[in-house]
Amino acid sequence: MKKPTPYPERATLVEVGPRDGFQFEKTIIPTAEKIRIIEGLIAAGLKWIQATAFVHPQRVPQMADAETLIGQLPRHDGVTYTALALNERGVERAHAAGLTHIEISVSASDAHSRRNAGLPLSDARRRGRRMIRMAAERHMGVTAGIQCALGCACEGRIPPERVLDMAEGFLSEGIDYLSIADTTGMGNPRSAAELLEQLMPLAGDAPVGLHLHDTRGLGLANMATALRYGVTRFDASVGGMGGCPFVPGAAGNIATEDAVYLLSSMGIETGIDLARLCGCARDLSDFLGRPLPGKIHRFPETPAML
C-alpha cells in the first residue's frame, strides 16, 4: 500500500480546454479563434496542450476542423500538442495530421462506454489496446486514459479492481502516461486516496495523471489529495470550461488558473505565468459572452495574492 508522500516540488498541467472545453460549446468556434486562444495559453507557459479530438464530426461538431487546426498550429520548442481519439480511425487521422502524441481513452463504465464510444466495455478495452499498439507502430507517444474511474452517473460506484485491471492492461502495452479520469466528478478525497494507494505501486515508473471534473466542487480537493500519493500531472481547462456531451449534468474540468494558484500557494512550481493565464481566461469569457466557472481569473490583482 502506497502511503502519503511529501508534496512534490513541481507539477505539470495539461491544458485540455481546447478539446474538453470547446467540445461543450454549441456555437462553433472558428479555427482562427481556437489558434489565437492556444497561442495565448502557450505564451502563459503551458507546455502540454490537448488541442482537439479526432472524432466523428456529426457527434462532436466542434471538433470537425481537427486536421485544419493541427496543420495551422504554431510549433514551439518544448510544446507538445495532443489530441483525443476514440477509435483506430482517429489514430490514423491524428498521425496523418502530423501529431506526435495521441490520447486514447476507455470508460470503466459499460453504460458510459456504450454512450461515449458506442461499444460495450469488453470491446472498448480490446480496441483501446489495439489503438495503443497502432500508435506505437507510428512512433507516436501515448497517454491512455480510464474514464469514470471514480464513479459513473449511470452505474454509480466503479469497483477499483476493474480500474486496476484496465490500468494493468494499458501499462503492459508500454504507454507513456496513464490518465485516471473522474469524468462525472463523483470522486472525493477518500475514494481518490483509496484508488491511488493501489494504483501507484502498480504503475511503477509510468507517470500517472488525473483528469478531474469539478461537477460537485471537489476537483481541487481531489487534486491536493493526489499530490500526496505521488501524482504530479493534472489535466485542467482554462476558465473551468468543459463537460461531457454523454454525461447528463457534467460540469467542466478544474480551472487551469485555479490549479496554478493552488499549486503555487503550496510552493509547487508549474512554470506558468498566472497573470497571463488569468488574462486568457478573461479573454475567453469575453469571447463566449458569459462568466466562466473558474475563480482566480476574476480577481483583478492576481499576482499580488501569491
The per-residue pLDDT for range 133-160, each reduced to its tens digit, is: 999 999 999 999 999 999 998 899 999 9
Of 5-14, 110-119, 227-236, the poorest mean pLDDT is in: 110-119
Q: Identify the CATH number of the domain defined by range 12-305.
A: 3.20.20.70
In this predicted structure, what is the pLDDT of residue 26? 86
Mean pLDDT of 231-253: 80
Segment 51-99, tens digit of pLDDT? 999 999 998 999 999 999 999 999 999 999 999 999 999 999 999 999 9
Mean pLDDT of 273-282: 96
Segment 170-199, tens digit of pLDDT? 999 999 999 999 999 999 999 999 999 999
In this predicted structure, what is the pLDDT of residue 250? 58
Model confidence at 248, pLDDT cuts 50, 70, 90, reads: low
Catalytic entry in 148, 152, 244, 280: 244
In this predicted structure, what is the pLDDT of residue 280? 96
The percentage of the chain sitting over the pLDDT mark of 70, rounded to a whole number, equals 94
Query: Known catalytic residue: 280?
Result: no
Whether the per-residue pLDDT at 16 is higher than 90: the answer is: yes
In this predicted structure, what is the pLDDT of residue 302? 52
Has this prediction a pTM greater than 0.75?
yes
- Measured over the CA atoms of residue 294, residue 147, residue 83 and residue 86, the dihedral's sign is negative
Distance of alpha carbon 89 from alpha carbon 66, whole angstroms: 13
Whether the per-residue pLDDT at 300 is higher than 90: the answer is: no
Whether the per-residue pLDDT at 251 is higher than 80: the answer is: no
> What is the amino acid identity at position 113?
S
